[in-house]
Structure 1
Amino acid sequence: MPTRKILLHITSGQQVAFYLLALVAMAICAYGILRRWKAWRGGKPLPPVTDWPGRIRNVLDQALAQRRVRRRRLAGGMHAGIFYGFLALFIGTTIVAIEHYGALLFGEHWFYKGAFYLLVKAALDCFGFGLLIALCVALWRRLVTKPASLGNSPYDVGFLALCLAATVTGFLLEGAGIASDPARLSFAGFSPVGLAVSQGFVGLSVGGYTATWWVHIVLVLAVIAALPYGRRYHLFVIPVSVALQPERPMGVLEPIAMSEVEETGKIGLTELADLDFWQRLSLDGCMECGRCTDACPANAVGKELNPKQIVLDIRRYIDNPRALTVNGEAISTDFISDESLWACTNCHACVNECPALIRHVDLIDGIRRYRVAEGRLSGSGAGMLRKLGSRENPWGLPASQRLDWAKSLEPPIEKATKDDNREVLFWVGCSGAFEPRAQKTVQATAQLLQAAGVKFTVLGPKERCTGDAARRMGDEFLFQQLAEANIATLNGIDAKRIVTQCPHCLHTLKNEYGQFGGNYEVLHHTQLLSELVESGRLKLEPQTESSVTYHDPCFLARVNGETEAPRKALRSSLQLPMLEPERNKDKTFCCGAGGGRMWMEEPTTQRPGNNRAQELIATGASTVAVGCPFCKVMIADSVAAVGGENPPEVVDVAELMLRAVSPRAVSPRAGSPP
């Protein structure tokens, strides 16, 4: 019957020595895991943790299935090979231990035998060989190709070499075992690598086998002892970090209570002591892969911002508790420069790519809050906040102009009242009300709703900025002031279903107003328009546009996960297939307007929009469709700058759809039944 003897040729004395060494290795490993507990505990405590089934599913998805890790083919495959290889070998070792210790009760060969034994041996050989290849690729990347964004040190190379040596000697030991035990030859084909290696061990003595066993065991124990030190620590941290991550969706910031400010005298991440337990824990999960920096649009155009370096700089101080104070004074977060801090567009590309699920933007915006509260924001960004505070919109224009966009429309747009029997409230937004290019979008959307017979109303002068720009820039209390005023207005007219053409308004109304008692169903205009087409209420006659590409807005595609509605809407109004840019959907590249950058000056050579415009132009499309007023401005300006003599036209999805509306589908009155 297929099986093998556990601890073949290993004497009782040698077994005692092995157990003593194993205890030492495990103790070193346990210390490495637990040594960071004090640093994590120094942060603000975790809020009550709920939804454990959902959290466990997330751990299985991110830590076990490695969904984000596998997004990059070479690096993801390499990491998966190492992870699953070690996991398989750990499971194999556990099976051997069960067999060995269970024999004390059930007799020898009670468990690890027969078909089960052969299946395990074949699996271990397969996964072990995959581990061998993956380790070689990892060493090649660190010694030869050396990607600029990848963290690299002699310790990394040393640990990988140690793992490789342990894996190689594992196959050597398997070959030596086959050569030393003739009874295993009849089924050694289930260990093809071990069988091949055994050819070099013909005639091996007992002493030779024992020496091979000890070399392998010492290397394995060294790997165990070294595992929780350096960047390998992420193996233990990431599952816990993923399980305990905040319940807030991506892009939703934690509100600050005035009572907290009165108690602490601080706003935002003033000092490292202000980091909470989960933030400190998640920072330890950073494996320095550099994916966050590779995805950062600000970094891509030469700005100082480096999301990975921000994480490492913060962690560098937290790593040494004594470094948290200097001469009795707590260390502030000023070691992160203003240039780096204000370059962030809040696009969340870094967060979306991070395998450890670190929330870089929360850290950046938390520090922004502190610096804005200290009056350390100047220039056009500070000017925008002043306009927002005095006129309740970033353009600083009077509320009486909020309906100017609708003056040319017929039939007239109705203003919202509590009993107006509307289907949806159309949230126009500040850009739609005041920015000429965005006005064309809201006009097209309104005409499409009229054509579909949708009963809709608007707030007009009662509408204020949602406060998104204030919150992203760091003025949390200005945001809360605007939010509470808007919520009072919306609740006062019993608004339930809201449609908006701005992804930033969508995100704030849908995901952040709930923090202050404003809970609404909020749709992007492409979602509602697509819904109207599918239901047959909006009749379109597809147009023969020569070619169209679509730019996904960050806050629609990445932060709110909506990528299909705009494409459905476009397909319904076009005869030709749409051309996709290289980076699309949740991997879209930021136009550069988010995080308050819409109102901040920057050199023309450092505009993310120029980078994105080149990608869109490279598709060969004659028309660029967008779904965000900020994107429309930034992409249009960049396309004009880099697009040559005949740049593509930049229009909103709604404008393209309006071109396809059948004249027969236009309703005689706004909101009359279809």
Structure 2
Amino acid sequence: MTWKIVNLVLFLCAAGCCVFWFWKAVSHRAAYVMLGRTEQPARLDRMRLREWAAQLFGHKKLLKDRRSGLMHLVIFYGFIVLQIGAIDIVWNGLFGVRLPLPAYEWFVLSQEIAVTAVLLAILYAGFRRYVEKLRRLKRDWKPSIVLFFIGGLMISVLFVSAFERIWKEEPASALAPIGSMLAAAMDGFIAVPAGEALYYAAWWAHLLLLLAFLVYIPQSKHFHLLTAPVNLALARSDPPGKLRTLDLEDEEAETFGVGAIEQFSRKQLLDLYACVECGRCTDVCPAAGTGKLLSPMHLIVKLRDHLTEKGAAITSKTPWVPTFAFGANGTAVSAFRPEPKESRVEWIGEGITDIGPTMKRQKESWLRTIADRSDEQDNGGEQHRLAMETELIGHVMTAEELWACTTCRNCEDQCPVGNEHVDKIIDMRRYLVLTEGNVPGDGQRALQNIERQGNPWGISRSDRDKWLDDLDGVWVPTVREQPDFDYLFFVGSMGSYDNRTRKVTIATVKLMAHAGVRFAILGAEEKNSGDTPRRMGNELLFRQCCDENIALFRKYKVRKIVTACPHTYNTFKHEYPEFGLKAEVVHHTELLALLLQERKLVPSYPVREVATYHDSCYLGRYNGGYDAPRAILRAIPELSLEEMERSGANAMCCGAGGGLMWMEEKAGKRINVARVEQALATAPTVIASACPYCLTMMEDGTKLLEAEERVAAKDVSELLAAAVFGPH
């Protein structure tokens, strides 16, 4: 009895200390998140609740990588099943009685099955990391701590069961096969009294592993066990990728955009602690995959580490507890600090033989992280000063990283915990542009040209409707000439000025006219949509474009808008309504697919081509527009459609989004070349697209790869026009 009292007291002390340390670590990080600005919380309605459940319990995004997803699913549900078993083990060790569960023997069998499944999943996790060596997974010992924790917990469960059988001389049972086999194997070597001692040794090993894991969780990437469900529940209900609006009329604002970590919203800061560092985002990032400095995962990790250090400085609450395990003055010992000297450039640059002097300088900048600077100091006061003086852009993030993003959102689409990378990048770009006036030269020229002439080239506004001269036999009225129209055809800058994209404009116009669609154009009155300025961070110029366009739409009583540019389509559809636009917006592929369905367009001429379709990010991931372009291509006689390995929601960006259409790539491999290589793997004769930016990038890629003689790049409307009107 005395031993049981001592055991209970020791248990209460150990559990009480660890629960306190756990609460302290969690509450301190919660205080750091609360430093962010407030925003309207998301409403968890029935539809969002279903999506939350699908992500959390159905592993919807995790299963995009089926093998990793199944592995995680086994561990996830194995741990849920084993929680009751953990309570039973603790209760039995403290009071000598088991939980009064019905069919207890079958409960024991369920525990052994769960333990075995989790152990196999852990072994497979180690295999994926160290034998298969997946590029996206880190391979030093720190990311593997959790494997030892979970593996140790599972093994201790089995030994607790085996030693209890020896101690209590229980017979072998088919409902406890592993415990029975272990007990039988040790029975001849261990006496009953020793069995009792070994039982409590295994019991304490299991308990201490469990409590140590509890304390470790909030101080590591495994904090996602707590934060990911909350982060998914608080996911924005706005359309994907919709940017928040800046209050440009705030007279008290000293800066615009995000130039300090605490200027992010609380939800954005929660993202940082939800990250599991799985690398899925970086694995699909077109910038990372072609040797640029940007890595979405490392962006989140660097921001998280900076938040932890600056949050500790602002709140005076140490992030590392207990101090004897994590170091004095709130500085974690090296075993638990983030890896400060990992060279991400070496990882993402695989297959790139020459990174060049620019990337070498960027690499040197990367290596000097926040953790490095803090480790150089021995006293807390100096660390406090450094954390407060560390600049978000310059010390934590570099401008090169921020300008490498194509805003394709493939990172967000792959993230299993609901992190939003692009809005953080745009917020920091806004700070660079609006507060510091720091824009790459070629990007600055595009913005100035849009401001002066309404297009990125700076061509005269009066030339916007000169493409009409290329039309033959089709009358295209302006809104002034035909005020009674159904659709406003918003041609866009590319469709108006770019010689190649003008052919897409003409094909679309001819198809709409042939189908009897009543449409009109703005002509020389048309202005830039503002997508490029907004994605480049110039919210002021975007607002100017937006206000002028909405005024035009109201003036001419526009009810429906059709455009061939997914960037314009997305901006009009999801961002203009906040400023007063009340019109239905459709992409030209949606309208053409509808006209085909209604038999107003009949493709009767064969188009003997092998086509592969390149998905536009702003039509696909931003708006779910995957079916309409493919429906058009499949309706064309004798045209064969071959899908690329990366297609649909996981399609790779062409490299033109986020304003990069107007900026030159200076590091690594060109993104459009990498994408065209993927297209050429399907042996096509045509690379089809539904975006003027994509069309340009695909055509340039075929030229750079010297494949333009055998592979053409065409918009789906051009292919449909060939099937409807015949060859010209």
TM-score by length of 2: 0.83
Contact 1:427–1:459 (Cα < 8 Å) also in 2: yes
Contact 1:293–1:350 (Cα < 8 Å) also in 2: yes
Change (3 A) 1:95 1:254: farther
Residue type at the aligned position of 1:79:
H
Change (3 A) 1:120 1:56: farther
Aligned to 2:261: 272
Worse overlay, 247-256 or 331-340:
331-340
Question: 167, 178, 187: which one pairs with 1:193?
Answer: 178
Contact 1:269–1:366 (Cα < 8 Å) also in 2: yes
Aligned to 1:129: 116
Aligned to 1:350: 411
CA distance in 2, matches of 1:126, 1:172: 15
Question: 428, 445, 455: which one pairs with 1:367?
Answer: 428
Aligned to 1:4: none
Change (3 A) 1:177 1:650: same
- 1:454-503 deviation digits (Å, cap 9, x = unpaired): 11222222221110000011111100110011111112222222211111
Aligned to 1:513: 576
Alignment of 1:555-594 (within 5 A): 555-594=618-657
Worse overlay, 411-420 or 478-487:
411-420
Change (3 A) 1:442 1:386: same
Residue type at the aligned position of 2:293:
E
Alignment of 1:128-277 (within 5 A): 128-151=115-138, 153-178=140-165, 185=172, 188-202=173-187, 205=192, 206-207=195-196, 208-260=198-250, 262-277=251-266
Alignment of 1:94-113 (within 5 A): 112-113=101-102
Aligned to 1:668: none
Q: Does residue 454 of structure 2 align to residue 392 of structure 1?
A: yes
Worse overlay, 490-499 or 414-423:
414-423
Aligned to 2:522: 459
- 1:516-563 deviation digits (Å, cap 9, x = unpaired): 111332111111111111122221226242311111111111121111
Deviation at 1:149, TM superposition (A): 3.3
Contact 1:347–1:555 (Cα < 8 Å) also in 2: yes
CA distance in 2, matches of 1:127, 1:171: 11
Change (3 A) 1:309 1:227: closer
Residue type at the aligned position of 2:214:
I
Change (3 A) 1:641 1:574: farther
Contact 1:510–1:519 (Cα < 8 Å) also in 2: no
Change (3 A) 1:224 1:418: farther
Worse overlay, 73-82 or 336-345:
73-82
Residue type at the aligned position of 1:370:
Y
Aligned to 2:491: 428
Question: 391, 394, 397: which one pairs with 1:334?
Answer: 394
Deviation at 1:314, TM superposition (A): 1.9
Deviation at 1:245, TM superposition (A): 2.7
CA distance in 1, matches of 2:42, 2:410: 26
Contact 1:166–1:216 (Cα < 8 Å) also in 2: yes
How many corresponding residue pairs? 647
Contact 2:44–2:233 (Cα < 8 Å) also in 1: no
Alignment of 1:475-490 (within 5 A): 475-490=538-553
SS at 1:376 equivalent: coil
Q: Does residue 615 of structure 2 align to residue 630 of structure 1?
A: no
Contact 1:325–1:331 (Cα < 8 Å) also in 2: no
- 1:623-658 deviation digits (Å, cap 9, x = unpaired): 111110001011101112114473301110011111
Deviation at 1:351, TM superposition (A): 1.7
Question: 63, 82, 92: which one pairs with 2:56?
Answer: 63
Question: 382, 398, 406: which one pairs with 2:468?
Answer: 406
Change (3 A) 1:546 1:217: same
Deviation at 1:337, TM superposition (A): 1.9
Worse overlay, 50-59 or 351-360:
50-59
Deviation at 1:162, TM superposition (A): 2.4
Deviation at 1:17, TM superposition (A): 3.2
Change (3 A) 1:110 1:152: closer
Deviation at 1:156, TM superposition (A): 3.0
Change (3 A) 1:21 1:628: same
Deviation at 1:618, TM superposition (A): 1.1
Change (3 A) 1:212 1:37: closer
Contact 2:159–2:199 (Cα < 8 Å) also in 1: no
Change (3 A) 1:342 1:545: same
Aligned to 1:313: 302
CA distance in 1, matches of 2:13, 2:605: 77
CA distance in 2, matches of 1:254, 1:376: 21
Contact 1:272–1:333 (Cα < 8 Å) also in 2: no
SS at 2:393 equivalent: coil
CA distance in 2, matches of 1:602, 1:346: 15
CA distance in 2, matches of 1:182, 1:90: 26
Deviation at 1:390, TM superposition (A): 0.5
Deviation at 1:22, TM superposition (A): 2.5
CA distance in 1, matches of 2:241, 2:7: 57
Residue type at the aligned position of 2:296:
P
Question: 471, 479, 488: which one pairs with 2:534?
Answer: 471
Change (3 A) 1:490 1:51: farther
- 1:40-89 deviation digits (Å, cap 9, x = unpaired): 11110132432443443333222332222222233333333322222221
SS at 2:619 equivalent: helix
Worse overlay, 402-411 or 626-635:
402-411
CA distance in 2, matches of 1:175, 1:542: 76
Deviation at 1:433, TM superposition (A): 0.8
Change (3 A) 1:409 1:123: farther
The CA RMSD over aligned residues, in Å, is 2.9
SS at 2:255 equivalent: coil
CA distance in 2, matches of 1:271, 1:224: 31
Deviation at 1:113, TM superposition (A): 1.4
Contact 1:283–1:315 (Cα < 8 Å) also in 2: yes
Contact 2:221–2:276 (Cα < 8 Å) also in 1: yes
CA distance in 2, matches of 1:418, 1:190: 84
Contact 1:344–1:595 (Cα < 8 Å) also in 2: yes
Deviation at 1:178, TM superposition (A): 4.8
- 1:239-297 deviation digits (Å, cap 9, x = unpaired): 1122223333222111111223x212211112223112111111111222222221111
Aligned to 2:22: 29
Alignment of 1:49-60 (within 5 A): 49-60=42-53
Deviation at 1:576, TM superposition (A): 4.4
Residue type at the aligned position of 2:156:
T
TM-score by length of 1: 0.89
SS at 1:320 equivalent: helix
CA distance in 1, matches of 2:544, 2:186: 78
Contact 1:545–1:576 (Cα < 8 Å) also in 2: yes
Change (3 A) 1:165 1:10: farther
CA distance in 2, matches of 1:622, 1:508: 32
Contact 1:418–1:493 (Cα < 8 Å) also in 2: no
Aligned to 1:672: none
Aligned to 1:551: 614
Unaligned runs of 5+ in 2: 314-382
Deviation at 1:307, TM superposition (A): 2.0
Unaligned runs of 5+ in 1: 1-6, 664-674
CA distance in 2, matches of 1:431, 1:82: 50
Deviation at 1:320, TM superposition (A): 1.4
Contact 1:149–1:290 (Cα < 8 Å) also in 2: yes
Change (3 A) 1:639 1:268: same
Q: Does residue 73 of structure 2 align to residue 86 of structure 1?
A: no
Deviation at 1:146, TM superposition (A): 4.5
SS at 2:174 equivalent: helix
Residue type at the aligned position of 1:285:
A
SS at 2:275 equivalent: coil
SS at 2:641 equivalent: coil
Aligned to 1:382: 444
Contact 1:317–1:324 (Cα < 8 Å) also in 2: no
Residue type at the aligned position of 1:371:
L
